[in-house]
Amino acid sequence: MSSETGGLLALDAEALYAELRRAAPMLRGAGAKLVGIASGGAWLADRLQQELGLPGEAGIISSSLHRDDFAQRGLSGSSGRTRLSFDVNGADILLLDDVLYTGRTIRAALNELFDYGRPAAVRLAVLVDRGGRELPVQADFAAARVALPAAQHLALARDAAGRFSFRMEKTA
C-alpha cells in the first residue's frame, strides 16, 4: 500500500481503493447514498457506485463556496458543482474523499451538504488520512494513515482508463 523509495513515500492508490471497496458495504449500510467531494472523492464515489451495482448515480458535493479561503482560491476549475439526485433530508450518507488533512474541506463540504437538507447520518471514508488536523474532524474509515510534511501536497489522479494513482508535490 505504501513504501519508502529513495526517501519518498510511494502510495499505491489502487490497493488503497481496493481496501475502501471491501469496507464500503459495511460503511454505507442499507440504502445509504454515496457522495464524493469534488474531484478525487467524486471519482471514488462514481467508481464505487458502479462496482457495488448501486442504482442511480453517486452524488457530488463541492466545497468551493463554503471554504474559509474562498477569497484567495475562488471557484477553482477542478472544484466541480454539487449534484445530488436524492433528497438529503433523512438520508444516510457515506461521504468520500481522497485525502484528509486539515479538515477544512470536509467542514466546507458538510456546510454545502446541509444547504440541501438535514441528513440522518453522515459517515466519512478517505483513502489517506495524513494527520495535521486543524479542525475536530476524523474519518470513520481511512485505507492508510501517513505522516507527511506540511510542505508536501498529496492528491489523487485518475488516468483515462479510470485507474487511480497519487501525485505528490512540494508546496511553496
pLDDT in tens, 10-39: 799 999 999 999 999 999 888 899 999 998
Three cell numbers, residue 47 = 467508481
Q: At what angle do helices 40-51 and 13-28 cross, to 10 degrees?
A: 60
For residue 117, give the amino acid letter: G
First to last CA, the chain: 27
Percent of the chain with pLDDT over 70: 87
| Average pLDDT value for the chain | 89
Residues 26 and 171: their CA atoms lie apart, in Å, by: 36
pLDDT at 64: 83
Can you tell me the mean pLDDT for 44-64? 95
How high is the pLDDT of residue 19? Answer: 98
pLDDT reported for residue 30: 84
Q: What is the pTM of this model?
A: 0.89
Tell me which DSSP letter residue 32 carries: P
Residue 5: pLDDT band with limits 50, 70, 90? very low
- More confident call, 172 vs 125: 125
**Residue-level pLDDT at 39:** 82
Q: What's the pLDDT tens digit per position in 75-113? A: 554 457 999 999 999 999 999 999 999 999 999 999 999
Comparison of pLDDT for 172 and 47, the residue scoring more: 47
> 60 near 45, Cβ under 8 Å?
yes
> What CATH architecture is 9-69+81-170?
3-Layer(aba) Sandwich (3.40)
Closest Cα to residue 93, out of 50, 19, 36, 23?
Answer: 36
Mean pLDDT, residues 58-62: 96
